[in-house]
Structure 1
């Protein structure tokens, strides 16, 4: 340990993007167990101050906050050196935004991640870094043939239909967002190989749950619910038979914590994180469920499919299950009902539409 370095047991866990949806839930879980947390965030996304105020009110002095942008390497480095572990969740999270502003997407997602890794490398301490990646690293999966079955599409390949897409799938970055997150994913894994830093990557499917700011471009489960509850029309890009596996944020948080607990034995590994086949549903299936939950007939319009969209993506989570003993506990029916109740209490009304920084 370098002279002047704080005792790592007393140091906080840094959650970069900790006022965002997943970040605030992860920070709350750690803080609730008495773990000091340092939230690092630039607070650029409208409304995330509510999540930060909630954490501060609930946990008091156990929570520390630094308003820093991941693009600011000079400000970021000394703060990260004081941490005993780092969860890196900050990102530009929308494919659509990346197509309009690819330079900003690159700077936040790739250069920002590089800044985190370099801060750790230059510190001389093996501080764990766990990175929030995405299923978009697998591209649009043009070779995965699908057929329509009622209100959803299903893969023609029975193995994919049974288990989903696993981590042996070749990477195929599409759209600037896919490129920036995919390149960052690979940098994180390489810093374990090249520099011995204990890193790991979670390639997430669709995470949903309380404290989410759902928009048309990101957080679509919450966006559909908020639109339905507020009587706003919902736009579907494509025919709505696209299938995704959705995962409640409580299960996602458990996975992130399980990775940190085992980081020394799994460093340099990437894991798919999603609800798996048992929590897979099409957009049409979700809309039908929302109509039942809200007792409302939904106003739905259809437009053309968006660039890079996957007709079918379900994560094969066998690796994280067998390696870490993790599994999803919240069924999608239960989770969507839970989020509906939470949104009715906390988030009704016009929602911010810009998607910028906090994951």
Structure 2
């Protein structure tokens, strides 16, 4: 890696969550000292913390605090080598029910991180986990449907996906709060010279994900199917997403940090791209094969802000750091299914389901 921040640990905020714990594990395995910061509010993440402690012992430091607590956050970040910021309120439905809470966690929490780094001298790299929801519901994207999925009529988008030149169009309180955070992270590179970068993620999935109906849908579908519980599809199931295995996501985050001096102030789409673009119905078909039975499916109306089609064009990230997805969606989902089965050999207990 090129020059990073100070001599302390790499801090992973939200480090007991799904992506954060996978990244922390990889960093620790490669010899880095890591501090995870998490308030342990999401069900299941305490298991990720226990897993990290079992694997890495004293080399892992864990601070159980909330990203909204700026006073507790500042001393932890004061001598950090680098910061990855994953802590967030992640559900659109929750944001609609309590937009103030959503704002406090996503927007103010991110500002607390940036201000802590600025107070520490501004030399600590910050890599922020954003979302494709900053592009809004994409209501203007014309689509047709065939082969059980939606297809964009625009030939370039159909071949490559949606790139970072797409205008931002925040939709739902969640989209607004994450969009605000996304823009603050980029602006602190311009206004204060911080070494920041943003990764706008599509659907990430893989081991250590305790998916729910509101967030982490690939894992949620598998959990429900393995537990022989019904799955609710909001919409007709033709919606398309480019899903990305967490190990590929971890590689992307590390690659951006390694070249942060050149990439500072930039945003990159991060997803599986066209080769990993799947409809919800297609994922259900694979799950039926893996579970050896067809899941029971209930249909409901689409939810606010739902995109019929989102596939990330990751050309900018590929050109910047040479990154591209390595794990195909079928083998990736099989990997997640094995992990879920191994985690609950007698069937999935209630604690797996939020």
For the superposition of Structure 1 and Structure 2, which TM-score range results when normalised by the shorter chain? over 0.9
The structure whose RCO (Cα within 8 Å, separation 6+) is larger is: 1
The one of 251, 259, 262 aligned to 2:256: 259
Match of 2:131 in 1: 134
Match of 1:350 in 2: 350
Match of 1:185 in 2: 182
State how far apart, in whole Å, the 1-side matches of 2:250 and 2:241 are.
19
State how far apart, in whole Å, the 2-side matches of 1:157 and 1:44 are.
41
Indicate whether 1:120 and 2:136 are aligned.
no
The one of 296, 299, 316 aligned to 2:296: 299
Match of 2:218 in 1: 221
Contact map agreement 1:202 1:272 (CA 8 A) in 2: yes
Structure 1 runs of 4+ with >3 Å offset:
7-10, 351-354
The one of 315, 319, 322 aligned to 2:319: 322
Tell me the CA shift for residue 82 of structure 1: 2.2
Contact map agreement 1:34 1:62 (CA 8 A) in 2: no
Tell me the CA shift for residue 8 of structure 1: 5.5
Alignment of structure 1 residues 62-211 onto 2, 5 Å: 62-211=59-208
Contact map agreement 1:216 1:353 (CA 8 A) in 2: no
Please, what TM-score do these two structures have when normalized by structure 1? 0.95
The one of 12, 17, 26 aligned to 1:15: 12
Q: Can you give the 5+ residue segments of structure 2 that lack an aligned partner in the other structure?
A: none
Change (3 A) 1:8 1:146: closer
What whole-Å deviation, never above 9, does each CA across 1:30-62 have from its counterpart, x for those lacking one?
Answer: 000010000001111122111001101101111
What whole-Å deviation, never above 9, does each CA across 1:107-165 have from its counterpart, x for those lacking one?
Answer: 00000000000001111141000000000000000111011102111001111100000
Tell me the CA shift for residue 278 of structure 1: 0.1
Please, what TM-score do these two structures have when normalized by structure 2? 0.97
Change (3 A) 1:154 1:8: closer
Q: Can you give the 5+ residue segments of structure 1 that lack an aligned partner in the other structure?
A: 1-6, 355-359
What whole-Å deviation, never above 9, does each CA across 1:266-294 have from its counterpart, x for those lacking one?
Answer: 00000000000000000000000110111
Aligned length: 348
Alignment of structure 1 residues 240-255 onto 2, 5 Å: 240-255=237-252
Tell me the CA shift for residue 349 of structure 1: 2.2
Tell me the CA shift for residue 9 of structure 1: 6.2
CA-based RMSD: 1.1
